[in-house]
Amino acid sequence: MKIAIGCDHGGFDLKQVIVPIVEQAGHTVVDLGCHTNESVDYPDFAALVCAAIGEGRCQRGILICGTGIGMSIAANRYRHIRAAMCHESFTARMSREHNDANVLCLGGRILGSALAQEVVTIWLTTEFAGGRHLRRIKMMG
Ligand code: RB5
């Protein structure tokens, strides 16, 4: 898959950890910034990642800010996005199985690298279950 990744300054360090994890799992990373620890505005990077998915340039996205909260609020404003903030493995799995989440939001000031690796790996490998869950997703337009 092609995975768009975006972050703000609060997520920059964790992005540096996540990019090689995604690549080692066999995916192509499209890194849409930011590229330093300098203060930036997370909605700008959520917009870039959501556009990459909406235009079909990437299949899924990962957004990282300090808490994951701002990125998930920003990403879920786009109709084609189902963004899930996951900081442990159960919600990472369920966000794919039940919600077909196409964006994963992480908090760079919350997750350590080992847990981030676990969450990202589960999120990338878990398939959507479909069935009644598809019906519910369709209800949201
Ligand atoms: C930036 O300081 C911080 O507010 C941002 O990274 C994020 O946590 C917002 O939800």
Strand partners, 28: 2
For the chain, 141 residues long, give each residue's pLDDT as a single digit of tens.
999 999 999 999 999 999 999 999 999 999 999 999 999 999 999 999 999 999 999 999 999 999 999 999 999 999 999 999 999 999 999 999 999 999 999 999 999 999 999 999 999 999 999 999 999 999 998
Sheet of 28-31: strands edge to edge?
Answer: 28-31, 2-7, 60-65, 103-107, 83-85
- Is 65 catalytic? The answer is yes
Return d(Cα 79, Cα 118) in angstroms, integer. Answer: 28
pTM: 0.98
Going from the Cα of 67 to the center of ligand 1, the distance in angstroms, rounded, reads 6
Ligand 1 atom showing the smallest separation from residue 70 Cα: 10
Using a 6 Å cutoff on CB, does residue 73 contact ligand 1? no
Question: Cβ–Cβ contacts within 10 Å for residue 39, how many?
Answer: 9
- Tokens describing residue 123: 């999120």
Task: Select from 42, 72, 85 the residue to mutate for testing ligand 1; criterion: most ligand atoms less than 8 Å from CB.
Answer: 42
- Residues 128-140, buried b or exposed e (16+ Cβ, 10 A)? beeeeeeeeeeee
